[in-house]
A and B are shown apart, each in its own frame.
Chain A
């Protein structure tokens, strides 16, 4: 009883002999916690990147949709008219030349 209350047990039970091992266990525990946090952090980054990717994709699709509309033949003709262009859509197809090797 006295040994426990007086703290002598620490000297006699040999825990001090294992001090290195105890230290090692502590390092492991800290390492474990750190690892957990870093995994959490990467998951967070991944999620943020995914959101970013989604945004960029939406940016791309909405811009592509706009561009497609403007590339419509009719739209191009309207724009050309605004520019006072004399460019006209072709009436005849291009002629073909067959080449013999």
Chain B
């Protein structure tokens, strides 16, 4: 008994001691111990839930820029076991080399084996990010097909901006890097596009997977807004292609731009910028359209003409002596192309773009009151600041009497488009205002900001000035602009199908402070600005080509106008409403429309869109075929194992029926089915061959 009690005491003492040790350990851990925590020990962490960046959309909601996930392939070179690696590495290296095409299979093999020796667990594979389907393909490669735990493949998702249409309107769509530096819409609408990321707490559970902790509050991400632009992909593409074609014709062009604007609203439908790069190819790398202010040249004569008409100093028929094409005034000399036009009307002077005539007109009527001329120009809002959605707009320059830069020749120079600085967009906005009967609209790129098609902020059209000149003046200058294309410097783009109005412009550009250097080299700027169709303008557009130093000539009429025409032609081909409807009489004796055999319900549906359609009675059964007289459609049933009658059906229906019954089908010709073999009604087992022939036969009644 004593022995037992002794033992109990012994156990008791042991337990008490154990208790003290435990308490001591707790105190130590709580207050004194330093614990190093490794990744494997962490079982909770905060995780960011990425917000999807919004897309930039064309006017028809097709995406111009959208976030697409890409994957970086990496390899944990330590993971695969030795046997597996020796067996399959050659095969893997070969596949990788084939896929990325950046180095040989041997190089890949060496790279992997070396990395394994060095214990690399995060080695990048390949020379680029891959997309989803490529990633799936790579996951099937030898070694990698055993997954991340045995094969060592690691895939990291990265969201990248993707422009589905490539470089289309790239300068306008823009870009942004991770530091927030960028250009175009991508940068100026970054705040709306980026969205707000969410947060959640996740917990590691058995098996090493992470799951969200329900008891902790989580913050859901807010996806970014989409930006709906005014750009029209088809017009944009037409503009870019037309520019590129023209640029390929001469080595001496260093840049070009084309802008298309909708007359009523000022919406920019296309904006193309091309700048010659180092290799001689052109790319959207500089925004000429809004960022390049130069002396506009002859396109500015429109403003001069408006001023003269508005002040009542001239009519289109007033006479002016353009003399022998040369005129000296003060320290400046003005000249026309060719031998001189002699005495001409104001309209002719405009159509032929006579510098002499316009310089003379300005001096004649405004020399005593230069300010009056400049005020007129200012009233037309030509130099208006647009506050565009895109940064990088160049400022305009216009001198006024009294400025340090104003001189005795400023007035006549300004009248023919020098001594002022405008961007192509400014010139276009002015021409657009004329097309819009004097109402000037602010050019804009963004229609609205939306999410899932629901508009959140509308930016829409905005008026700059109700009328930049009187209606009467608008009518007169419109006639003059039409005259330029009918019989003036823009004659080569005259088209009988629809009418274009516009003005050519050929300006010399000053470089190193001069217009012409000692060797006789000059730089030109060839412009065509205008609108179409003349009677009821829908679009206005401007095309500007900038030459490098050259001894040649680049006239707006011969270089820019053809580009303008190509763009206008493309728009015309898509605008059936510009032509008046065909003058045909539709009478009641139309008869019933000829019908193909096919699915009853679909035919019935199509008939509702046709005249006299409702007069045709169709059984709304599954399939209908022609009866023996070929005049009526009757219902038919399809029986398994018996060849149905597919005659008079389209190929789509015939194939659908026959292949669904298990037959193999060969066909030839196009149109509707005219004969089939074997004959309808024959019994035939599955997998047998059925031959059908089609022909284009149209029934006329």
Interface residues of A (CB under 8 A from B): 39-40, 43-44, 47, 54-55, 58-59, 61-66, 68-69, 72-74, 89-100
Contact = CB atoms under 8 A, between A and B. Distances in A.
B68 A65 contact: yes
Given A40-B211, A62-B162, A89-B573, 5 more contacts: A58-B131, A59-B133, A68-B63, A92-B572, A93-B574
Contacts of B66: 61, 65
A12 to B, nearest CB: 23
B579 interface: yes
B403 interface: no
Contact of B62 (A39, A62, A68, A94): A68
Given A69-B165, A73-B234, A92 B573 contact: yes
B164 A96 contact: no
Give chain A's interface secondary structure class: helix
Contacts of B70: 62
B132 interface: yes
B132 A93 contact: no
Interface in B343-376: none
Interface in B218-233: 233
Contacts of A96: 576-577, 579, 581-582
27 contacts: A39-B214, A40-B205, A40-B211, A43-B211, A44-B205, A47-B210, A47-B211, A54-B157, A61-B67, A61-B68, A61-B69, A61-B162, A63-B133, A68-B164, A72-B165, A72-B233, A89-B573, A91-B569, A92-B497, A93-B576, A93-B579, A95-B581, A95-B582, A97-B584, A98-B581, A99-B586, A99-B611
Contacts of A55: 132
Contacts of A94: 576
B1 to A, nearest CB: 13
A80 to B, nearest CB: 15
Nearest to B207: A44
B126 interface: no
Nearest to A57: B69
Contacts of B168: 72
Interface in B628-668: none
A27 B98 CA distance: 60
Given A44-B211, A47-B212, A95-B579, A72 B586 contact: no
List the 6 closest pairs (A to B, CB-CB), nearest first.
A58-B69, A68-B164, A43-B211, A93-B576, A96-B581, A65-B164
B205 A90 contact: no
A38 B573 CA distance: 64
Contacts of A40: 205, 211
Nearest to A100: B586
A90 B573 CA distance: 6
Contacts, number: 90
A99 B586 CA distance: 7
A66 B131 CA distance: 11
Contacts of A64: 164
Nearest to B580: A96
Contacts of B210: 47
Contacts of A99: 586, 611
B175 interface: no
B578 interface: yes
A93 B573 contact: yes
Nearest to B55: A61
- Report which residue of A61, A69, A95, A98 has the largest number of chain B beta carbons within 10 angstroms of its beta carbon: A61
B132 A68 contact: no
Nearest to B70: A62
Contacts of B164: 64-66, 68-69
Interface string B62-100: 110011111000000000000000000000000000000
Given A44-B205, A68-B63, A92-B497, A62 B68 contact: yes
Contacts of B214: 39, 43
A66 B63 CA distance: 12
Interface string B141-164: 000000000000000010000101
A79 B31 CA distance: 75
A2 to B, nearest CB: 13
B575 interface: yes
A70 to B, nearest CB: 10
Nearest to A40: B205
B237 interface: yes
B448 interface: no
Contact of B572 (A43, A47, A93): A93
A23 B254 CA distance: 90
Contact of A62 (B63, B69, B576, B611): B69
B279 interface: no
